[in-house]
Amino acid sequence: MIEQNPFFGPIAGGDLGSVPHIVMAMLVAILVLGVLTKHWRRSGRRGHGRRRHAAGAVILPFQKARQNTSTTNTRNMHLPEQQMIAVAAATFETQPLLNKSEARLLPVIEATLAEIGRGHRVMAQTSVGEVLRPCNDQDAATRDAAHAAINSKRFDFSVIDCFGRLVVAIEYQGGGHYRKTAFMRDAVKREACRKAGVAFIEVHTDTLPHELKEQLVKLIGFKSAVGSAP
């Protein structure tokens, strides 16, 4: 008598309880095969890259890797050791503090303040956050936000009194100042000066030296500097 193989017997009239086991076994086999195939593909790519590198071929880094490296370097630049590495790797040279248009204003301002003779001095390219600060009668969040808004900005010229406090801010309005971002930066500085009670002079390309002098004398409040009577 020949025994019938239960796995290959006819479905009709056979043991139907074995069908779910067969289906389950097939699903498991497909799942395992998929995992192994994915692993083999990854291993093949890594091995292929190593073989090319060993053969001396030039392998360009992936774009994603370059972005991650750049982001990491930028994020770590607040660390002094990273700053030292960056400075040590670069070369430096001097550059003018003022451009040619701004530089022509400096002797006019210096001469006017010397003529006034009350101890006023002019500073160039001064950080706004060094001469203005939010008042202490506000909450910390408001002060921090306001300081962050002005700290990275600069005045072209800052006139300080004999006590070292800002009395006049001077901005040269060249062609670049009419761009959208420059206009907004100047608006922020102008508003900060207004709230601090500091005069804000805007010098344009067609402003004459004597016009700037008259504005300074008027704002500082010493009329004698305009010219004395004989």
If residue 203 lies in a helix (H) or strand (E), which one and from where to where?
Answer: strand 199-204
Helix (H, G, I), strand (E, B) or coil at 11: coil
130 within domain boundaries? yes
User: Are 80 and 125 in a shared domain?
Assistant: no
Question: 14 lies in a domain?
Answer: no
**Are 121 and 168 found together in one domain?**
yes
111 and 161 together in one domain = yes
Closest CA to 123 of 176, 169, 188: 169
State the residue range of the domain holding 168: 100-225
- 67-116 pLDDT, tens digit per residue, is 555 554 666 888 999 999 999 999 999 999 999 999 999 999 999 999 99
Do 120 and 146 share a domain, yes or no? yes
Say whether both 72 and 158 belong to one domain.
no
| pLDDT, mean over the chain | 79
Question: Last residue of a domain, which of 38, 69, 89?
Answer: 89
In a domain, 40, yes or no: no
Q: Give the three-class secondary structure for 174.
A: coil
Same domain membership, residue 197 and residue 113: yes
DSSP state for residue 8 in the 8-state scheme: T
Q: What percent of the chain has pLDDT over 90?
A: 55
In this structure, is residue 53 part of a structural domain?
no
The pLDDT value given to residue 77: 84
Residues 216 and 119 in one domain: yes
pLDDT tier at 227 (50, 70, 90 boundaries)? very low
The two tokens of residue 180 are 């959208």
Q: Does 120 map to a domain? A: yes
- Give yes or no: residues 69 and 149 share one domain: no
Asked whether residue 35 is domain-assigned, the answer is: no
Residue range 128-180, pLDDT digits in tens: 999 999 999 999 999 999 999 999 999 999 999 999 999 999 999 986 555 66
83 and 105 co-located in one domain:
no
- Report which of residues 9 and 183 the model is more confident about: 183
Q: Are residues 70 and 170 in the same domain?
A: no
Residues 149 and 221 in one domain: yes
Domain contains 38: no
Per the structure, the count of domains in the chain is: 2
pLDDT band at 27, cuts 50/70/90?
low
pTM above 0.75, yes or no: no
Asked whether residue 69 is domain-assigned, the answer is yes
Q: Which of 89, 110, 138 is the last residue of a domain?
A: 89
Strand order in the sheet with 121-127: 121-127, 154-160, 166-173, 199-204
What is the distance between the alpha carbons of residues 47 and 28, in angstroms, rounded to a whole number?
28
129 and 161 housed in the same domain: yes
